[in-house]
Amino acid sequence: MAAMSLLLRAAAVWGARRAASSTRLPWLVGVARLPGTVAPVRHSSSHGKRMFIIKATSFYDTRFLNLLRFYIFLTAIPAALFITYVNIFIGEAELAEIPEGYTPDYWEYYKHPISRWIARYLLDPPEKDYEKEMALLDVEAKKTQLRLMQLEARRLMRQRGDGPWYHYETPDKNLVDNSMKSTPDN
């Protein structure tokens, strides 16, 4: 919206300049005015009649753009200065063959000094990341195996009935009342 109003304002200025350059007085040509805001008057030097121009407010737009620029530059300028300092005074690493009997540290595989610093102080070594991922996979693999074994045990116990699972509580046979079945003529 702010950009759109900027565009409209620029178009109005261009239109005013185009309209003014063909017909108007020479000292009014270069002055940027909105159309219909300049009226020639007899005794005033170059301003024309002072008009109160009614236009939509640009307060919010300019405030937004100022704040945007401020907050972007607040960190962008120090970051740009720091990165320029690093690039000029510290410089990038040079490619070299790995010397005999020397294992480079894991941050020495990066070229830019800031990448090296991040790899050294902020991130974990890639070997540790690798091992972490393999540990997760190992835990999940063991879980799948245990679950498969559990399913197999459940199936066998249900089938054979000789395991601790699939026992159902039945009432005690001493509680059963057999009086109605005890005599044949009941």
Partner 1 sequence: MPEDRDWEAYKVPPTRTPVSEKTPSVLNPVSFIETVFKYVIDAPVTFVREWIERQQAKNKFYYYHQKFRRVPDLSECLEDDYLCFFEAEAQWKRDRMVDQEIVEIIRERLGACKQREGPNQFQNCAKEAEQLLQVTKAYQDRYGDLGVHGNARTCLMKQKHRMMEERKAQADASQET
Judged by the rule CB under 8 A, the positions of this chain that interact with partner 1 are 88-91, 93-98, 104, 108-111, 113, 116, 130, 133-134, 137-138, 140-141, 145
We find the least distance from the C-beta atom of residue 104 to partner 1, in angstroms, to be 5
- Looking at the Cβ atoms of 124 and 140, the one nearer to partner 1 is 140
We find the least distance from the C-beta atom of residue 89 to partner 1, in angstroms, to be 5
We find the least distance from the C-beta atom of residue 24 to partner 1, in angstroms, to be 44
The long-range contacts involving 139-144, CB below 8 angstroms and separated by at least 24 positions, are none
All residues at 6 or more sequence positions from 90 whose CB lies less than 8 Å from its CB, including other chains: 113
Q: What residue type is 24 in one-letter code? A: R
> How far are the Cα atoms of 66, 111, 130, 139, 175 from residue 104, in angstroms, in the given order?
49, 13, 18, 31, 81
- Looking at the Cβ atoms of 36 and 126, the one nearer to partner 1 is 126
- Looking at the Cβ atoms of 50 and 132, the one nearer to partner 1 is 132
Query: What's the sign of the alpha-carbon dihedral 116, 119, 121, 125?
Result: negative
- Looking at the Cβ atoms of 41 and 148, the one nearer to partner 1 is 148
We find the least distance from the C-beta atom of residue 142 to partner 1, in angstroms, to be 10
- For 73, list phi and psi in degrees, rounded to 5: -75, -20
